[in-house]
Amino acid sequence: MSINSRETPAGALAVQPCFDELNGIRYDIRQNATRMCYSNGTWRNYSDYVHCHELVEAEAVEDAAMAFVFFVGFCLSLVAIAVAIWIFLYFKDLRCLRNTIHTNLMATYICNDATWIISAVVQEYVENGGLCSVLAVLMHYFYLTNFFWMFVEGLYLFLLVVATFTGEKVKLQIYIIIGWGIPGVIVVTWAIIKHLGKTAPDNAGESHPMVLLIKHCPWMAEDYYDWIHQAPVITLLAVNLVFLFSIMWVLITKLQSANTAETQQYRKATKALLVLFPLLGITYILMMQGPMEGVAGHVFRNAQALLLSLQGFTVALFYCFLNTEVQNTLRHRMSRWRETRTVGGGRRYTLSGHSKDWSPRSRTESIRCILSKCR
């Protein structure tokens, strides 16, 4: 391509978009090539194509940036979730079915995030097809368990808030089978069929954390076999969306029957809706499709990377650190600990976890704790 336009005035810089393709190589047409027209009407003896980058190179830079966002987000989530799980397990006052379900969901985030980080690091420096396959299977398993435990969260809330009987009547073993067992069956089936078939990658323009590892691990490439685990995920998200509408309907009905101002009712309902989004995986629905080209696509992919990588952090924040029950328990323990340090010779009290005078476990109080974020 030669920049030599008669319409360029003397002493001006001629600008035109980079070529779309040259010698079979695609280039980024969003950038420009330039050539200087001197004041005497002659052209500079060369055109400046320094900003015309190969499209693959531009995509590689963007992929690296998004991988960095995922890495930082997953690390933040790992730290927050680890602290939240420690709180739920260490303080016996917080041990109940609801918090046990929260703990299992957070455990899936830890496994999923840690596996992604390990896969990204190992596949960057180690070329091992067998290790790649193992990591791919583990990533898909933990990814799937994450959605199944989101479904368990939605089912528990639906039974507790909407149905006529409490979620406590469903045994923990049933929830464990749903959350950890069924994903195992699905992923093993997928792995066997995928191993026997052939992979045909088709992931252009996507910023999913697994997609970013395809270049290093062909097992991450998508094909029609992946509907074995993708179809259950879509189904679970759809069911959780129904759970969300049902729970919000009950909540709004209760708010309308209460003697509160209309503005305050809307505020409470909005807060409850936002709090339930990460717990039920609604964020994944919002980030499922979006623009893929231009500035809008760049913004969407980075927002997608940020929100998805911080899912675990958000769950830990809303359902542990900002949980009224957790805050009361920690405040109560710290108060008792200070009393024992102030008053000498009294009974020794530690933060090891259990006191008989603090155990909020009634069903009414449990519902209040679940929906307390909307206050």
Q: Which domains does the chain have, with CATH numbers?
A: 1-53 (4.10.1240.10), 55-374 (1.20.1070.10)
Structure tokens at 363: 């069903």
pLDDT over 50 at 53, yes or no = yes
Span of 64-68, 98-102, 149-153, 281-285 with lowest mean pLDDT: 64-68
- What are residue 126's phi and psi, to 5 degrees? -125, 125
- What are residue 30's phi and psi, to 5 degrees? -75, -15
Q: What is the mean pLDDT of residues 96-104?
A: 92
Nearest to 310 by CA among 333, 290, 287: 287
Span of 22-31, 64-73, 267-276, 362-371 with lowest mean pLDDT: 362-371
Question: Which one has a higher pLDDT value, 352 or 94?
Answer: 94
pLDDT over 90 at 153, yes or no = yes
pLDDT over 60 at 57, yes or no = no
The whole model's pTM is what?
A: 0.73
Structure tokens at 341: 């340090």
Q: Rounded CA gap, 7 and 20, in Å? A: 22
Q: Rounded CA gap, 204 and 200, in Å? A: 12
pLDDT over 60 at 157, yes or no = yes
Cα–chain center distance at 1:
45
